[in-house]
Amino acid sequence: MPVTTSAPQQTENSSPDNSPKGFLQGFLKEAIELIVVTLILLIGIRWGIAEARYIPSSSMEPTLQINDRLIVEKISGHLGKPIQRGDILVFYPPAIEMGGEELSNDPLHWLGRLTGLPFFPNDPAFIKRVIGLPGDIIRVQDGQGVYVNGQLLDESAYIKEVPAYNLNVLSDIRGRNAKGNYIQPTGDKAKANEPIIVPAGRLFMMGDNRNNSEDSHVWGFLDQKRVIGRAWLLIWRRLEAPAYPPSLQAQE
């Protein structure tokens, strides 16, 4: 008696779905999983370890130049390492510097700060050097330099030029903010003539290009809670084209 064989019947739950609809669903599922995992890793690294930044202005010349790329590390901050004078920090500037616009807390801005991805809103950040720590008395003398607690700082290793302005009392802190508006953040008449003493939890920040930097001499003290991290490693700098002698230059 001949024996016939037939292919085993696949149940609905065990059979692969080779239809276009099934393929699309599988593709979308894997894509979503990949995006979620990537975002989690990106947020974890950017929030807990480090992030990349570039320099858009000349305020930190000659130490940092326009279009420099650097790594901002955050581990030391999470571990509670104290901020020291001379540290170069990246931070969100005070609201008064940005025309009164405080950091937004909507989901899109949060994702922008956590991921740095360009299709989310990204808040502007500054980079400056720590000059004054809480309790320090700051004074700036035109043509001489910066005094901290009565001592002239030796800044010859990093500043572009000595300041061309004076800071003696709180009312001297003033200037034009990023929006072009004139500000005087410590203009309270009751305190206008008091010395410049850095409050608790605040920092006095200055750019190395002292006469071309919107820093604490314009917008006042920085809340340490706005610090993003420490500048750690310069990873890219565009080099100027070498100056070849005329004999080696191409002739038109």
Euclidean distance between CA atoms 53 and 74, whole angstroms: 13
CB 85 within 8 A of CB 204: no
Geometric angle at alpha carbon 55, from 54 and 59, rounded to 5°: 165
Dmax (CA) of the chain: 115
Torsion of CA 74, 62, 163, 82, to 10 degrees: 20
Tokens of 113: 């700060």
Query: Which residue of the set 128, 160, 213, 216 is catalytic?
Result: 128
59 a catalytic residue: yes
128 a catalytic residue: yes
Query: Which residue of the set 59, 74, 160, 216 is catalytic?
Result: 59
Euclidean distance between CA atoms 145 and 154, whole angstroms: 8
Active-site residues, by number, are: 59, 128
